[in-house]
Amino acid sequence: MNEHVSSDSAGGTRPLAFMFPGQGSQEPGMGKALAEAFPAARRVFAEADEALGESLSQLCFEGPAEALARTANTQPAILTCSIAVWTVVTSELGLQPAALLGHSLGEFSALVAAGALSFVDAVKLVRLRGLAMQEAVPAGVGAMAAVMGADPAALEQWCEEASVGGEVVSPANENGGGQIVIAGHAAAVDRVVARAKEGRAKAMKLNVSAPFHCALMQPAAERVAAALADIAIAAPRAPVIANVDAEPYPLTEDPQAVRDRLVRQITGRVRWEASVRTVMRMDISRGLELGHGKVLSNLIKRIDKGFSLVAVGSPADLDVLKLGT
C-alpha cells in the first residue's frame, strides 16, 4: 500500500482523508470490542488510564452514561477511542492519510495522528479543556441551538440583533447542508430561535452542558492557552485542516501556529463544511471516520454526496474495510 493513498475497486489508488469526531459521539461500550480484539487498541486505553490516573477505559467500556456525558470525561474518552481506532487502522491495514481533520475536539485527535501532539499530552490537555469549558459558564446561563434552512448572512444578522444588554450569541458550528449551530447566553439564543422560526427556518434548542465555541468560552481559552505553552508540538506529517479557518496547519515546525489555532477554536466557530471543501479541493473524495459512531458520516452526506466517508470503530468495521483494500 503506497503512503497517503488507498486502493480502489478499479485497482488504482486514490488519496484518503482521516476524520475524527467530536462531542456527541460518546456512549457506553465505545472501544470495548476493539480493545478486546487488538492489543494495540488495549495499549492506547491503558496509556490513557495511566496518564489520567484513573480508569477512563472502564468508563468508556461500561459507563455509566451520565458520567461519560460530563464534558471533562467525554473529551478524553472520545480522543482515546479515536486514537485506538487510528492505531489499529494504520498498524493492521497500513493506511495513511493525505489529509486529516476533526470536528472541534476531533482536531486534537487529528493532530495526534499527524504526529504534532503526543497522545499522553493530548489526553491530559483535553481533560483540562473539558473541565475549563464546563466551568467557564454557570449552569443555565448559556445555551446552544441548531438552525436549519436559514440564509447564513441572515442568521449572522439575527445573532447581532439578539446580542443586547450584555448578552451575546453567535454561530458556533457550520456543519453543512444548511445546518448552523448557534451558542451564547440562553436568552439571546432564545431570541434567535424565535426569529428563525419567524423567517420560516427550523430551529431547536440542544441538550448541552455549556455554550461551546462562543465568546462565553474565553475563560476556558485562557486556561488552555496556559497549558499549551508547556506542551511540545512537532511538525505534522500530513496536512491537518484547522477548524477556525478551514486551512491546513503549516507542515514545518511552528508550535505557535498550532497553539494559536487550538486556543482560537474554543471561542471561534467550527467551520466544518468549509474544512471538508478544503479537503475536496486537494482532490480527496474518500475518507475514514475514525472513532465511535457515524456523526461525521451523516454530516458529510449533507455537504457533498460525492464524498465517500466510511465509519470505522469496531472489529466488524475493520473486516469490511479489509475487503476493500
SS (H, E, C) 231-300: CCCCCCCCCEECCCCCCECCCCCCHHHHHHHHHHHHHCCECHHHHHHHHHHCCCCEEEEECCCCHHHHHH
Residue type, 179: Q
Catalytic (active-site) positions: 104, 213
Is 214 in contact with 223 (CB distance < 8 Å)? no
- The H or E element spanning position 78 is helix 71-93
pLDDT in tens, 18-44: 999 999 889 999 999 999 999 999 999
Interatomic CA distance for residues 261 and 284, integer angstroms = 23
Q: Which pLDDT score is estimated for 324? A: 67
pLDDT in tens, 58-80: 999 999 999 999 999 999 999 99
- Judged by DSSP in three states, 150 sits in coil
**Cα 134 versus chain centre, distance:** 17
Q: Is the pTM of this model over 0.85?
A: yes
Mean pLDDT of the chain: 93
Between 124 and 11, residue with greater pLDDT:
124
* List of residues 6+ apart from 144 with CB closer than 8 A: 172, 181, 182, 183, 189, 205, 206, 208, 211, 212
Enumerate residues 6+ apart whose C-beta is below 8 A from 307: 276, 280, 285, 286, 287, 300
What are the phi and psi torsion angles at 74 (to 5°)?
-60, -45
Distance CA(247)–CA(249), nearest Å, equals 7
Cell of 81: 477511542
pLDDT tens per residue, range 157-200: 999 999 999 999 999 999 999 999 999 999 999 999 999 999 88
Distance CA 288, CA 82 (A): 11
